[in-house]
Amino acid sequence: MDFSIQLKQFSTRIGKLKDQIQTEEATKTSMIMPFFQILGYDIFNPLEFVPEFTADVGIKKGEKVDYAILKDDNPIILIEAKWCGENLTKHDSQLFRYFGTTPAKFAILTNGLIYRFYTDLENPNVMDKKPFFEFNILEIKDSTIQELKKFHNQDFDVDTIFSTASELKYSSELKTYLNQQLLTPSDEFTNFFVGQIYTGRKTQNTIEKFRDVIKNSFNQFINETMNDRIKTALDQTQSKEFDLATEETATTSAAVKSISEPIEEKIITTMEELESFYIIKSLLREVITPSRLAHRDTESYFGVLLDDNKLKWVCRLQLDGSKKYLIIPDQDKKSIKNQLDSIDDLYNYKDNLIEVVKRYI
């Protein structure tokens, strides 16, 4: 079976399993070991996949890391595993200690949902404090699959991975930083761009004045760029379909008519709609796992659903007009329309949204 299909099927399976897993051992056997099996490792061969691998630290003997993957009898990857409900932030120091005592070039910290990949980019034989690659098994993207292929048993090459790890690490950090700035521009970020467009005296009031201008300008720029690319792709597709249609004599007339008709309504999901979706996910994380929320865009509204089920709609947003609205269902699923001055007003409806979700769970 294709590697990407295996991963996506596994992701679906984990989504159904995770809430039933209550221990670290269950996490290992049901979530972590099967993942490495998909990566092509023989998890039942102690000469390749070693549980409880000894990694003595200084004068402390018998220190063990949960798993080690061996090649030519030497560890190449160390794996520290935690329960799927546990936060990983506190546990990287444990893996940090093990890393310097073995020849392994890579270390992975995971709770079966989040996987963090480390190496020693900054100082040889000293594990970096920040991972160079991180992903959530419930949110498999094409870019994630491409990176994971490098860790597949058949393709694993230390030098190849290490040479791309630096770019991957800093690229990931830059994308995280830009995402934060697109949501809430910092003083430093705002100040930099104010300096490019404003010649007057820069005070804190000036920065506050321009903060929303810069935020909206960046989001509008990205949105317009995306729309232009989509339009170009549609035009190219339409042109190709027309060329193919003219070659088919029997259906030439019908095909040309179909292709030449104007495309009336193209649904484009805006950055403002996506930003609203992420705000709603953050507001509801107290009662549900954020990955259970999905969005569907229509011609008349942008909808947020629980478990991607249209019968479990949490809210609908209308943001395209001169006025913005949040629509929330009451107990009888009748729509209650609330006007918003901006999407930041969504925070005022946290309790209402939680009440809706609790009806479904």
Q: What is the pLDDT of residue 62?
A: 63
More confident call, 206 vs 67: 67
| pLDDT for 180 | 83
Confidence check: pLDDT of 326 > 70? yes
> What is the C-alpha to C-alpha distance for residues 349 and 317, in angstroms, rounded to an integer?
13
Per residue in 186-208, pLDDT tens? 988 888 888 888 878 888 888 88
**Whether residue 255 has pLDDT greater than 70:** no
79-88, 139-148, 270-279: which has the highest mean pLDDT?
Answer: 79-88
Residue 70 CA to residue 321 CA, distance in Å, equals: 59
Mean pLDDT, to the nearest integer, of 211-239?
A: 74
Q: How confident is the model at residue 250 (pLDDT cuts 50, 70, 90)?
A: very low
pLDDT at residue 275, as a whole number: 85
Residues of the chain with pLDDT > 70, as a percent, come to 87
Least confident of 166-180, 228-242, 252-266: 252-266
Predicted confidence at residue 260, as pLDDT, reads 45
Partners of residue 338 on adjacent β-strands: 326
Specify the CATH class of 3-175 in words: alpha beta
pLDDT of residue 23: 94
Our CA dihedral for 42, 48, 50, 56, rounded to 10 degrees, sits at -160
pLDDT of residue 137: 95
- H or E stretch covering 188: helix 187-197
Q: What is the pLDDT of residue 171?
A: 75
Whole-model pTM: value is 0.54
Q: Is the pLDDT of residue 55 over 80?
A: no
Domain chopping of the chain, boundaries = 3-175, 191-260, 271-360
Instruction: List Cβ neighbours of 152 (8 Å cut-off, separation of 6 or more).
Output: 3, 39, 40
Q: What's the average model confidence in pLDDT over 219-246?
A: 66
pLDDT higher than threshold 60 for residue 246 = no
pLDDT at residue 235 above 80?
no
Report whether 120 contacts 127 (CB < 8 A).
Answer: yes
Average pLDDT over residues 126-150: 90
Per the DSSP assignment, residues forming a β-bridge with 118 are 107
* pLDDT, mean of residues 300-305: 93
Task: Give pLDDT, residue 122.
Answer: 86
Average pLDDT of the chain, as a whole number? 84
What is the rounded distance in angstroms from the CA atom of residue 270 to the CA atom of residue 216?
12
* Weakest mean pLDDT among 59-63, 250-254, 324-328: 250-254
* Mean pLDDT of all residues in 303-332: 91
Confidence band for 114, pLDDT divided at 50, 70 and 90: very high
pLDDT at 254: 47
